[in-house]
Structure 1
Amino acid sequence: MHRKNADFFFEIFEKNAIPEPFTHLNSSQDDQIINNDNYDEKLLLQRSHFHNIFFIPDYLAPGFDNKLLSVKEVTQFFKGYAIFLRDSENAEDYIKQRFKKNAKSIRKRVRRLESCFDIKYEMFYGNIERSTYDKLIDMAKYMLERRFIQRNDTNQALLKWDRLKQLFFDLINSKKASLFLITQNDIPIVISLNYHYQNKMFSSISAYDIDFEKFSLGSVEIYNKLKWCIDNDHNVYEMGMGDLSYKREWCNHIYQFKHQILYPKKSLIALLKARKQYFVVWSKELAYKLFYVRYKKYKSRNKKSAAPVFKISMVPLDNVDVSTLKKLDLDHKAFSYLKKSVYDYLYSKTEHVADIALYQESNDDKTFILVGKKSTHRITVD
C-alpha cells in the first residue's frame, strides 16, 4: 500500500480542486458546503494507498465518508494568517475594527503616497491581454530580484518563476487568479499575484519598488485589495503561512494548519502504515516546535543585508542659484540610484514629485541639487 501526498492549500488555491478523498468542504466564513465534483467512491476503493494531506486551514474543514475511511490528525506547528471580512461593510469598517485608535495611521499611509505621486489602482481579474501580462510579470520578477538582492536572501517564487509565469495568465483570464497593480505616473510600483477560490483570495506574491520604502506600499496594497474583496463579495483575504509582523498587524484570524492521514477502514495494512506515518508527522511537528524558532533567531542574527553600492547624503541649503545648472530627468536610467533619496525627501516634506526639480552641479557627477517647494538640498554620492 502506497502513500499519496497532497498539499491541501496548494490544491485548493492553485488548482481550484478538492483533494481526492474528500467529499466536500465546510466553509465556515459563508456557511457554505462546497462539494467535490471530482469525488469518485468506486475509484477511491480501487486504489491501494492511504492519503497524507497537509496544510489544511481551519475555516475550510474537509469532510469524508467515515464508512469507508478513518482519519488521524496532527496540529501543525506552522500558522496561517487570514482576514475574515463577513462582518465588515467596507475596508474603512475593517480597519476601524482591527486597528481601533490606530486606524488613522493606515489611512495616513495611503494618503501620503497619493499626496506625493499620481497613483492609480487596477485589478486584472477575468481579462488581461498577453502583451500587458508579459510586461507586468517581467516587471514583478525584476522588483522581486532587486528586493531579495538587497536582503541577501532567497525568494521561493523566483525559484519557480517560469512555471508561475506560464500558469497565471490562464488563471487570471478564467477568474481563478488576479493581478493587482499600483502605478505612479503609469509606472508599476506594486504588482501582486493572487489566487481565488470560492470567494476567497489568497495573496500569493507581492513585488514592490524598493525605492518607495518609506511609503508602506504593503499597507497600501492590502487596504486596496480589501476594498476590492468586499466590493466583489469575497469573504476571506488569505495571507498563507509565515509569521511576519505585517500579517500579525492586519489579520483577525490566526490559525494552525491541520495534517490529516486518511486510510481505508477495513485494511489492517493501511492502519499500520497510517500509524507509522502519524508518528513521523507528530515527531516532525515536535521538532519544529522545539527547534524552529531557535533556528530562525540564529539565522536572523547571522544574516547580513547586501552592502549599498552608493552612500548618499543630503544636507539643506539656502539661496541656491540653479539657473546655470543642468536640469536632470529623475526617470532617466542614469540617475535611478538617486530615486530613493528623492522619494524619502518627498515623504518627509509631503511634496508632490511634480513640484521638485533635480540639478547637477557643474562638472561634478557626484553632487546634485534637489529643489522643492519647501526647501532645497544638496545630494552627495560617495
Structure 2
Amino acid sequence: MNPYLQKIFKTIWLNHFNAGLTANEFSFIDMITFVKHKKIPVYFNTGATNTKGISYNLSDKISNDYKGKTFIVYDVQDFNTDIPKAVNGLSCYKIRQYPGFICDLNNYDNLHKYMLDVISKKSRYKFNSYKKKLESDYGISYKMYLDDITNDDYESLFTSFNFLLKKRFLEKKTVNNNLNPVEWEFYKKVTFPMMKKKQAGLFVVYNRSTPIAITLLNFSKTNMIDVIRTFDINYSKYRLGTVSLMKQLEWCFKNNISALDFSKGYFEYKKRWANKNYMLEYHIFYDKKSFKSKLIAFLYKQFFKFKLFLRKNNLTHLIHELSFILNKKKYAK
C-alpha cells in the first residue's frame, strides 16, 4: 500500500501544512483527498509535492461535487496509472514533470548478480574496492532502523542527519529544499510514527558510534522508496554514498524488497544504478463546462510546462545556486 495514502502521513501533513483542517473528498477519484487553495477554487492532493509518487483510480460513481472546481494531483507515476483524459464532465491535462528511476530487483537473487547486469565491469571493481578500503580503514557498521528505534536515538540521528545534509550542500554551494526549516520539521514529525508502522526507515552507516551516512526511506508493501540521502563529505574519497547504496540494496535482497525506487529528480547515481526509468506527472482535472475552471486549469498547465522548461535547460539549478549566494549566511547556520 502506498505510504502517502495512509492515515499517518496524511494526518501529520494536514496538521503541519494545513493547520489541521480536514481534507476534502470528491466522488470522481478513489483514495485521494484534497486541500483547497486559500484564495481560488483549486484543490490539490493531500501531501502535494511531499509525496514521492502516487497512483490512483477514477471512480465509476461520480456526482456533481466537482462542478466549477479545478483539481491538481501531484507526482503521479505514469507506469501505475492509466487515466483517461476525460471522464463524465471532467477533463484532464497531464503534464510530465520529473524523471523517476527504479532498481527493479525481481529478476535477481543478490547484489552481485544485479551489479553484473547493470554496472560496468570497471565500475564494479572500483565500487567494491572503495567498500573494502573504507571497511579496512575505519570501524564501519551498517544499521537499518525500523520500529526498533528509541525516541532518544531518533532525535540524535535526525540532528546528525541535518548536520551532514547541510554540510554537503554548503560544499556544493546550492540549495536543498529539504533543509527549509518547515520542510525539515515535517519530515522529522512524520518519520518516527511511520517507522513504528514499518512505513519508514533510517539506514545509517557508522564509523564506530558516529553516523557518517544516513538515508531516509519509505516503504510500500514491496518497494523501498528513497526520500533523502546524505553522507559525510570527509569520506568522499571512499565513495561513501555508493557504499551506502550498495548495502541498502543488499538489505532489500535479504528482506524480500522487490524494488528500490529513487523517485523524482535526476542525479547521476540514479541513472547509473537504476535499470528502469519512468516519468512523474502532474494531473489537472477541470470542469469542462465551467469557463473559470477551464481558465485556471490552462494557466496551471502553462505554469507547470514553464517549470519543466527551466529544469530541462538547467535553469532551476542556476536559480538554486543564486539563492544560495544571496542567502549564504542563513544556509551556513
Task: Name the TM tier (shorter chain).
Answer: 0.7 to 0.9
2:65 maps to 1:54 = no
Partner residue, 1:209: 232
User: Paired residue for 1:230?
Assistant: 253
Matched, 1:110 2:149: no
Q: Which runs of 5+ in 1 are unaligned?
A: 25-38, 306-382
Match for residue 259 of structure 1 among 282, 287, 292 = 282
Aligned counterparts of 1:68 and 1:104: Cα–Cα separation in 2: 57
In structure 2, do the counterparts of structure 1 residues 7 and 226 end up closer, same or farther at CA, with 3 Å as the change threshold?
A: farther
Higher relative contact order (CA 8 A, sep 6+): 2
Please give the alpha-carbon distance, in whole angstroms, between the structure 2 residues aligned to 1:83 and 1:301. Answer: 30
1:233-268, Cα deviation, whole Å (9 max, x unpaired): 22221222222211121112222222222346xx62
Q: Distance in 2 between matches of 1:275 and 1:300?
A: 30
* Larger-gyration structure (1/2): 1
Residue type of the partner of 2:243? V
Q: Secondary structure at the match of 1:72?
A: strand
- For the aligned residue pairs, the C-alpha RMSD in angstroms reads 3.4
Answer yes or no: is 1:84 the counterpart of 2:107: no
Q: Secondary structure at the match of 2:154?
A: helix
Higher strand content, 1 or 2: 1
Give the Cα–Cα distance (whole angstroms) in 1 for the partners of residues 306 and 164 of structure 2.
37
2-structure distance, mates of 1:235, 1:53? 26
Could you report, residue by residue, the CA deviation over 1:34-53 in whole angstroms, capped at 9, with x for unpaired residues? xxxxx8957x6545434211
Instruction: Name the counterpart of 1:3.
Output: 42
Task: Indicate whether 1:192 and 2:215 are aligned.
Answer: yes
Separation in 2, partners of 1:169, 1:297:
31
Matching residue of 2:166? 145
**1:135 matched to 2:156:** yes
CA contact (8 A) 2:98 2:265 kept: yes
Change (3 A) 1:154 1:239: same
Distance verdict in 2 for CA 1:223–1:212, change over 3 Å: same
Deviation at 1:175, TM superposition (A): 0.7
Which stretches in structure 2 are left out of the alignment for 5+ residues? 1-39, 326-333
**Residue-by-residue CA offset, 1:300-341 (whole Å, 9 max, x unaligned):** 998999xxxxxxxxxxxxxxxxxxxxxxxxxxxxxxxxxxxx
**Percent of aligned pairs with the same amino acid:** 19
Q: Give the number of aligned pairs.
A: 282
Deviations 1:139-173 (A, max 9, x none): 11111222222233222212122222222111111
Range that drifts further, 289-298 or 215-224: 289-298
Q: Please give the residue correspondences for 1:367-378 in structure 2 after superposition, counting only pairs within 5 Å.
A: none
Equivalent position of 1:170 in the other structure: 193
Give me the TM-score of the superposition, normalised by structure 2.
0.72
Whole-angstrom CA distance in 1 between matches of 2:322 and 2:48: 32
| Aligned equivalents of 2:215, 2:251: Cα separation in 1 | 13
